[in-house]
A and B are shown apart, each in its own frame.
Chain A
Amino acid sequence: MTKKSISKILLYFILTLGGIIMIVPFLWMIVTALKTGSETAKIPPTLIPQNPQWGNFIKAWNAAPFLRYFLNSTFVMIVTTIGQIITTILGAFAFARLEFYGKKTIFILCMATMMVPSEMLIIPNFVTLSKLGMINTYAALIVPWLASFFAVFTLRQTFMTIPDELYYAAKIDGTSDWYFLWRIIVPLSKSTIVALATLEMIGSWNSFMWPMIATNSDKMRTLPVGLSAFTTDAGTQYQLLMAASTIIVIPMIVIYVFLQKYIIAGVTRSGLKG
């Protein structure tokens, strides 16, 4: 065996080992979700469920208002994502293409918001929303996330790579700014927009601290908050907890598998923002 092929084998060995470590918790989640209550308490643990309990998913689903949580999460995710993309496209266009007084000042002020940890803003935002009577409503879960300057900044960078001449050509051809934005710039920036949208979808679906603080009734809970609350009811019934976890994890994995290319591009950009 050559030295080269030995190192190749070693390489794949390390990567596979790492891959196993990454995937085992997910597999363990599914395995546990299919066990009976008594099987989860076996020592040593069984690696394959003796008698797969598919009913656990239904049991977990009915043990708490997961349907309601699921619908809440979906609704909040869709509205936030669409809303944020619209405000982002409009804002990014203004910063990239239009001339106006105070452009620099506003831009710098907004840049400053990217530096502030959002955890710090929870207190005043809670106060603001209470004053507006929006605590424990969908508005509280949606409105604060309808704009993100990180998204505006990223999209502006993309818009700015579109040559000026295209803008002039379109003007001469008779388009308005509005038409140019939606029919020319937006289609050309599709991949960035999809990347930002998927990042926002993931962020919205998984967000925990804010929905926990901004809601206080079961009816308004999102999946992560509901799941966290469910732990108190389920206690040590890990087969149900894992079944519920599976329910919350699967949609994002599906989205991820389909939009992987965009998500990775988006993450690369978000990491490079500093």
Chain B
Amino acid sequence: MIKQKPSAKSTLIAFLYLSPMLIIIGTFYLYPIVMSFAMSFYTKYNFYTNKVSEVGLSNFVTIWTDPDFIEALKNTIIFVVGVVPLSVIIALVIAILLNKINFAAGFFKTVYFLPFVTSTVAISLIWQWIYNSQYGLLDAFLGIFGIKPIDWLNDPHWAMTALIIMTIWQGLGFNIILFLAGLSNIDKRYEQVAQIDGANTWQRFRYITIPLLSPMTFLVSVTSIISGFKVFDQIFVLFGGNPGPGKSTLTLVFYLYEKFYTEWKYGIAAAAGVVLFTLTLIITVIQVWYSKRHVHYV
């Protein structure tokens, strides 16, 4: 209704309000974005003198020919493929079940959501203990069914599985909450109409709930994929600061961390960061493209 033009005075006032936030965002978000792209091209860089004596593409060539990096990329993708579909499906099912009950629904929500508020370090320690090959709870439990003890954390064949199971367990609550939000946005009348039209429980689920929930399902998948790309804390603690037995859980961010923090190869670490950014960007672009093309029911 009333749109006053900005003036020099109003701009000055606005910047007084903005400046605390802008200084921080500028220094620790905007500037580093530019810097990390720049650093990925520094091939000779002295951290102490802050001198760049050579720039070029060789960092990218190096990581691309580094078997560790290829392994990290591969593991990251295996991790995402292992976690996301299962996590989304389990969360969806539990959310739908939770949506159907009244009694104790709040209690269940609290329980499922607990890992989200818990330190990843603590969670990883707990699971490290559960996965213990001698005294671990999981092997003891599987032993009841006659399954031989598995050395979850030291056997390269099982390490990734162990990581995936723990990550699904940890992220479930978050996804459930999102699905519940999506479900509560679906007008109850659709279900009622479908019931009048003669659809049974399964048909209502299949033809009403699932399609109406699909934008939320997509969103949950995207969020899970992006956070999957960034997995680090769990691995660090679960495998005692190592990228798993035989580097079987070496992921992109772990690679970045090693190059940066243990080997001091800033340029290479930055190049790995650029690859991480590109992966995130691709997913985001797909998301934007999808949201533009599809109607939002929810």
Direct contact of A and B (CB under 8 A): yes
A residues less than 8 Å from B136 (CB atoms)? 45
Q: A128-B27, A252-B117 are in contact. Are A120 and B273 (CB under 8 A)?
A: yes
Whole-angstrom distance between the alpha carbons of A77 and B207 in the complex? 46
Could you list 14 A-B pairs, sorted by A, with CB under 8 Å?
A: A22-B114, A22-B115, A29-B129, A44-B140, A45-B140, A117-B230, A117-B276, A119-B253, A120-B276, A122-B256, A125-B28, A208-B121, A224-B119, A268-B178
Q: Is the CB of B20 within 8 A of A86?
A: yes
Q: Is the CB of A113 within 8 A of B177?
A: no
Q: Is the CB of A28 within 8 A of B126?
A: yes
- Chain B, range 120-140, C-beta contacts under 8 Å to A: 120-123, 125-127, 129-130, 132, 134-137, 140
Of A48-56, A89-97, A186-194, the stretch lying at the interface with chain B is A89-97
A110 on the B face (CB < 8 A):
yes
A23 on the B face (CB < 8 A):
yes
Q: Is the CB of B111 within 8 A of A22?
A: yes
B196 on the A face (CB < 8 A):
no
Minimum CB distance partner of A223 in chain B: B119
- Chain A, range 29-59, C-beta contacts under 8 Å to B: 29, 32, 40-45
A6 on the B face (CB < 8 A):
no
Q: Is the CB of A42 within 8 A of B222?
A: no
Q: Is the CB of A15 within 8 A of B237?
A: no
A103 on the B face (CB < 8 A):
yes
- Chain A, range 182-222, C-beta contacts under 8 Å to B: 202, 205-206, 208-209, 213
Q: Is the CB of B277 within 8 A of A117?
A: yes
A residues less than 8 Å from B230 (CB atoms)? 117, 119
- Residue in contact with A40 in the complex, picked from B122, B123, B135, CB distance below 8 Å: B135
Count residues on chain A whose CB falls below 8 Å from chain B CBs: 98
Minimum CB distance partner of B4 in chain A: A99
A contact set with B: CB distance below 8 Å: 7-8, 11-12, 14-15, 18-19, 21-26, 28-29, 32, 40-45, 86-88, 90-91, 93-95, 98-103, 106, 109-110, 112-113, 115-117, 119-128, 130-131, 143-144, 146-147, 149, 152, 164, 168, 177, 202, 205-206, 208-209, 213, 223-225, 227-228, 231-232, 238, 241-242, 245, 248-249, 252-253, 255-257, 260, 263-264, 267-268, 271-272, 274
Whole-angstrom distance between the alpha carbons of A106 and B181 in the complex? 31
- Residue in contact with B121 in the complex, picked from A88, A122, A248, CB distance below 8 Å: A248
Q: Is the CB of B24 within 8 A of A87?
A: yes
Whole-angstrom distance between the alpha carbons of A243 and B253 in the complex? 30
Q: Is the CB of A164 within 8 A of B2?
A: yes
A residues less than 8 Å from B1 (CB atoms)? 164
Determine which residue in B22, B94, B173 has the highest number of CB atoms from chain A within 10 A of its CB, and name it. Answer: B22
- Residue in contact with B29 in the complex, picked from A19, A44, A113, CB distance below 8 Å: A113
Minimum CB distance partner of A164 in chain B: B1
Q: A14-B97, A123-B269, A268-B178 are in contact. Are A227 and B125 (CB under 8 A)?
A: yes
- Residue in contact with B229 in the complex, picked from A43, A117, A213, A253, CB distance below 8 Å: A117
B residues less than 8 Å from A224 (CB atoms)? 119-122
Starting from the known contacts A113-B25, A249-B122, A253-B117, 4 additional A-B residue pairs (CB-CB under 8 Å) come to A18-B112, A177-B13, A228-B237, A256-B113
B162 to nearest A CB, angstroms?
13
Whole-angstrom distance between the alpha carbons of A123 and B276 in the complex? 14
B166 to nearest A CB, angstroms?
9
Whole-angstrom distance between the alpha carbons of A77 and B100 in the complex? 38
Q: Is the CB of B14 within 8 A of A242?
A: no
Minimum CB distance partner of B267 in chain A: A123
B212 to nearest A CB, angstroms?
16
B280 on the A face (CB < 8 A):
yes
B242 to nearest A CB, angstroms?
12
A residues less than 8 Å from B11 (CB atoms)? 100-102
B158 on the A face (CB < 8 A):
no
B residues less than 8 Å from A255 (CB atoms)? 117
Count residues on chain B whose CB falls below 8 Å from chain A CBs: 102
Q: Is the CB of B14 within 8 A of A123?
A: no
Q: A22-B112, A121-B32, A253-B114 are in contact. Are A231 and B125 (CB under 8 A)?
A: yes
B residues less than 8 Å from A241 (CB atoms)? 125, 129
Whole-angstrom distance between the alpha carbons of A113 and B22 in the complex? 12
B residues less than 8 Å from A32 (CB atoms)? 129
Whole-angstrom distance between the alpha carbons of A61 and B113 in the complex? 27
A residues less than 8 Å from B111 (CB atoms)? 19, 22-23
Q: A143-B28, A208-B120 are in contact. Are A256 and B33 (CB under 8 A)?
A: no
Q: Is the CB of B21 within 8 A of A88?
A: yes
- Chain B, range 1-36, C-beta contacts under 8 Å to A: 1-6, 10-11, 13-15, 17-18, 20-25, 27-33, 35-36
Q: Is the CB of B101 within 8 A of A245?
A: no
Determine which residue in B14, B117, B172, B291 has the highest number of CB atoms from chain A within 10 A of its CB, and name it. Answer: B117
A residues less than 8 Å from B125 (CB atoms)? 227, 231, 241-242, 245
Determine which residue in A15, A115, A177 has the highest number of CB atoms from chain B within 10 A of its CB, and name it. Answer: A15
Q: Is the CB of B232 within 8 A of A209?
A: yes
B110 on the A face (CB < 8 A):
yes
- Residue in contact with B36 in the complex, picked from A22, A25, A121, A232, CB distance below 8 Å: A121
Minimum CB distance partner of A44 in chain B: B140
